[in-house]
C-alpha cells in the first residue's frame, strides 16, 4: 500500500515538472530573422552598407557672348550652348528702333567668345549672317565686322577699319601674311596676333 502511494506521489511530481517546463518554453519568443537588433541600430555609420551616390546630371556647357551695336543693353552675357542669337538679343534688352534685324541671323546657335553685332538701318558693312569665329575660336579676317576684329589683342577701331577697307578694295585675304599689306600692320603686329586669326571664304 505504501509503495502504491509513493508511486502516485512520484507521478504527480513528474507530471508537475513536465507541465512547468513546457510552459517555460512557450514563454520564450521565437527569434525574428528580420528583426534589427539593438547592436545593429547603434552600429557606426562607417560599418553600414553605403547607398549608391546619385548619378551626377550632365551640366549644360556655358558659353560667353558679346552683344554689341543697336541693342538696348550691350554687354557680355553667359548662355547655354545651343541657345540662339535671338535669345542673346533678348538678354541685351532687345533691338533699338534704329536697328536692322534683317541683317542678323536670329536662328544661329551661339558659340563661346562669339561677338553678335547688330547694325543700324542704312549702316555700311557686312551683316552678321554667320559667326566669324569658327570652332577653333579664331577670328576670320574675311568675314569679321569691325567689332569682331576689335576683339583681337592689339587691334583697335582704326586698324579694324583699315582691315575692312583693304578687304573691300582688294578682296579677301588668301593667307594671314597678307595682313601686313594693311597700312599700320607690320610683321611685329602679325606675329603677336596670328594665333587669333584665320582666313577662309
Cα 81 to Cα 57, 64, 84, 114, 134: the distances in Å are: 16, 9, 9, 11, 15
Asked if 60-130 and 132-201 have one fold, the answer is no
What's the average pLDDT block by block, 10 residues per block, for the chain (201 residues)?
69 68 52 50 48 43 88 92 92 94 85 84 61 62 84 88 91 92 93 88 60
Domain residue spans in the chain?
A: 60-130, 132-201
132-201: CATH topology is: DNA polymerase; domain 1 (1.10.150)
Tell me which CATH code domain 60-130 carries.
3.10.20.600
Kindly compute the dihedral angle of the four CA atoms of residues 57, 63, 64, 69, in this order, to the nearest 10 degrees.
-130
In this prediction, residue 97 carries a pLDDT of: 94
In this prediction, residue 64 carries a pLDDT of: 86
In this prediction, residue 85 carries a pLDDT of: 92
Q: Name the pairing type of β-strands 62-69 and 114-118.
A: parallel
Amino acid at each position: 500500500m505504501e509503495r502504491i502511494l509513493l508511486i502516485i506521489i512520484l507521478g504527480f511530481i513528474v507530471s508537475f515538472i513536465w507541465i512547468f517546463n513546457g510552459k517555460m518554453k512557450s514563454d520564450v519568443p521565437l527569434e525574428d530573422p528580420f528583426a534589427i537588433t539593438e547592436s545593429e541600430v547603434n552600429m557606426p555609420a562607417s560599418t553600414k552598407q553605403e547607398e549608391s551616390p546619385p548619378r551626377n546630371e550632365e551640366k549644360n556647357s556655358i558659353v560667353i557672348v558679346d552683344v554689341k551695336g543697336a541693342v538696348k543693353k550691350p554687354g557680355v552675357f553667359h548662355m547655354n550652348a545651343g541657345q540662339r542669337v535671338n535669345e542673346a538679343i533678348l538678354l541685351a534688352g532687345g533691338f533699338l528702333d534704329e536697328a536692322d534685324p534683317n541683317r542678323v541671323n536670329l536662328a544661329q546657335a551661339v558659340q563661346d567668345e562669339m561677338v553678335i553685332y547688330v547694325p543700324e538701318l542704312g549702316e555700311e558693312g557686312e551683316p552678321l549672317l554667320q559667326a566669324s569665329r569658327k570652332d577653333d575660336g579664331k577670328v576670320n579676317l574675311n568675314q569679321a565686322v569691325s567689332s569682331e576684329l576689335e576683339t583681337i589683342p592689339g587691334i583697335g577701331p582704326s586698324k579694324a577699319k583699315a582691315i575692312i577697307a583693304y578687304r573691300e578694295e582688294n578682296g579677301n585675304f588668301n593667307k594671314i601674311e597678307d595682313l601686313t599689306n594693311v597700312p599700320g600692320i607690320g610683321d611685329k603686329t602679325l606675329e603677336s596676333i596670328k594665333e587669333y586669326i584665320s582666313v577662309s571664304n
